[in-house]
Copies of this chain bind each other. A is one copy, B any other.
Amino acid sequence: MERPYVVGIDIGGTNTVFGIVDARGNIIDSGKVKTQTYLSPDKYVNDVCENLLPLIDKIGGLERIKGVGVGAPNGNYYTGTIEFAPNLPWKGVIPLAAMFEERLNVPTALTNDANAAAVGEMTYGAARGLKNFIMITLGTGVGSGIVINGQVVYGHDGFAGELGHVCVDRKTGRPCGCGRKGCLETYCSATGVARTARELLTSRTEPSVLRDIPADDITSKDVYEAAEQGDVIAKDIFEYTGRILGEALSDFIAFSSPEAIILFGGLAKSGDYILRPIQRAMEENVLNIYKGKTRLFVSELKDSDAAVLGASALAWELKD
């Protein structure tokens, strides 16, 4: 292979992480810059490239790089732009793919982080060989990457796959950061779990080790550790969260009938405490013709690597 490497750049609100990746998903080298400190996207792209180029030189220079993949919030695959990303310092529409392409002279693809995660899973992870699956990312928010016939679904405008904002309770749902209410994300994100913890700790009287943690700081990791100690309220937080997610998944199945749904992110690491209620609610609520057909499992990619791997995987799909 003449160009055996790709570059993955994952743009987060706090940090930007980039790495050089080989075809088997090994991250050969990596680095990072602090996204938040760059008020100008030009300076940002420049600094990312200045940090990246020495790593590229070490593996033989730009002619060994097949392409660059960028994962970014509100990233649009069709245009290569990020558009009005609320957690990034740059306002409006920023043509990031073109900016990297111009600076590095290597073909560059860009999409949002959840779509990148799906491509990464398909290229290096648990979804190898799968043509129809849905990736659900459970982080600060809830994102999704939908793959149908082996292709990520981008929709007519590049913004398809916002399953975190499907409404699970239109009447009495929680307010969402998007301005609507009852979005799946308000229950199954990190903040959703913390809110559920607060609500259960208030409405119930049992003792719980979670009562020792300031309610706003409770993470799914705390809940997991409490559940491991046999904490009843902690287990019920996972039951509640898992049921809502499983019900939502049963509707997603009616859309694209995927062979698998893959979970990724903090909450997904809570093992059977969360997986069992998700699986149960999914199977109980799914239409008969789909019962028992859709596998549910957790991403195989390491959290710390997944974002860069996902972004990098986009680059293998670039046409020469």
Contacts and interface: CB of A to CB of B under 8 A. Distances in A.
Interface centre among A83, A157, A163, A285 (most CB of B within 10 A): A157
Contact of A160 (B158, B162, B180, B256): B256
Interface stretch (A37-45, A214-222, A286-294): A286-294
Copies in the complex: 2
A248 to B, nearest CB: 9
Interface centre among A163, A250, A257 (most CB of B within 10 A): A257
Interface in A126-176: 131-132, 146, 148-149, 151, 153-163, 165-167, 170
B180 A287 contact: yes
Chain A contact residues (Cβ within 8 angstroms of B): what range? 35 or more
A113 interface: no
A72 to B, nearest CB: 14
B247 A156 contact: no
A236 interface: no
A179 interface: yes
Given A146-B256, A157-B293, A166-B255, 14 more contacts: A148-B155, A157-B257, A158-B257, A159-B290, A161-B256, A162-B254, A165-B254, A166-B254, A167-B247, A167-B285, A170-B247, A178-B288, A180-B285, A255-B255
